[in-house]
C-alpha cells in the first residue's frame, strides 16, 4: 500500500510539473507574438504659408495601424473636432482670415480626416497652415 501511495504521489508531481512547463511554453509564445508587432516610421513636417515658415520637422516611429490623429496627439499639442485638426502647437484655424491646417501625404492632398488615415512606413506628412482660397 505504501508503494502505491509513493507511486501515486510521484505521478501527481510529474503531471503538475508537465502542466507547469506547458504554461511556461505558452507565455514564451505570447512574448514572441508581442515582439512581432510591426512598427512604421513617418516624417512629419509642420509649416506655414506653403512651407515659407518651418515650425517642426520630425521622424516618428509608431506601431503599425496607428492613425495620423494618434501620431499628432502623441507628439504635438493638437485640438481636433470630429477627426479634423483645428489647431496645432497653439496655431488655430481662422475663419475671418480664411486660414486652416491642410495636410498632404506623400505629396498628395489628403482625402480623409486624420482620424481615418492609418500611417504607413515611409509616409511623408506635411501639415501646412495656409489660406484655403
Q: Tens digit of pLDDT for each residue in 52-99?
A: 999 999 999 999 999 999 999 999 999 998 888 999 999 998 888 899
Q: CB 76: neighbour CB atoms within 10 A?
A: 19
Percent residues over pLDDT 90 in the chain: 62
Number of domains in the chain: 1
How far is Cα 106 from Cα 124, in angstroms, rounded to an integer?
Answer: 5
* Contact assessment for residue 60 and residue 75, using Cβ atoms and an 8 Å cutoff: yes
How far is Cα 99 from Cα 29, in angstroms, rounded to an integer?
Answer: 52
How far is Cα 81 from Cα 126, in angstroms, rounded to an integer?
Answer: 19
Within-domain flag for 99 = yes
Within-domain flag for 22 = no
Name residues whose C-beta falls within 8 Å of residue 58's C-beta, 6 or more positions apart in sequence: 43, 44, 45, 75
Within-domain flag for 12 = no
Question: Does residue 105 surpass a pLDDT of 80?
Answer: yes
Within-domain flag for 2 = no
Within-domain flag for 1 = no
**What's the domain range around 60?**
39-131
> What is the CATH number for 75?
2.170.130.30
Q: What's residue 108's pLDDT?
A: 96
Please state whether the predicted TM-score (pTM) of the whole model is above 0.75.
Answer: no
Amino acid at each position: 500500500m505504501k508503494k502505491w501511495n509513493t507511486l501515486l504521489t510521484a505521478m501527481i508531481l510529474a503531471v503538475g510539473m508537465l502542466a507547469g512547463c506547458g504554461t511556461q511554453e505558452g507565455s514564451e509564445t505570447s512574448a514572441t507574438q508581442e515582439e512581432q508587432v510591426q512598427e512604421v516610421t513617418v516624417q512629419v513636417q509642420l509649416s506655414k504659408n506653403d512651407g515659407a515658415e518651418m515650425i517642426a520637422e520630425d521622424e516618428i516611429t509608431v506601431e503599425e495601424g496607428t492613425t495620423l490623429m494618434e501620431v499628432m496627439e502623441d507628439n504635438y499639442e493638437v485640438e481636433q473636432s470630429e477627426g479634423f485638426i483645428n489647431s496645432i502647437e497653439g496655431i488655430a484655424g481662422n475663419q475671418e482670415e480664411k486660414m486652416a491646417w491642410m495636410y498632404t501625404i506623400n505629396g498628395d492632398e489628403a482625402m480623409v480626416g486624420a482620424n481615418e488615415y492609418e500611417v504607413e512606413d515611409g509616409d511623408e506628412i506635411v501639415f501646412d497652415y495656409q489660406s484655403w482660397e
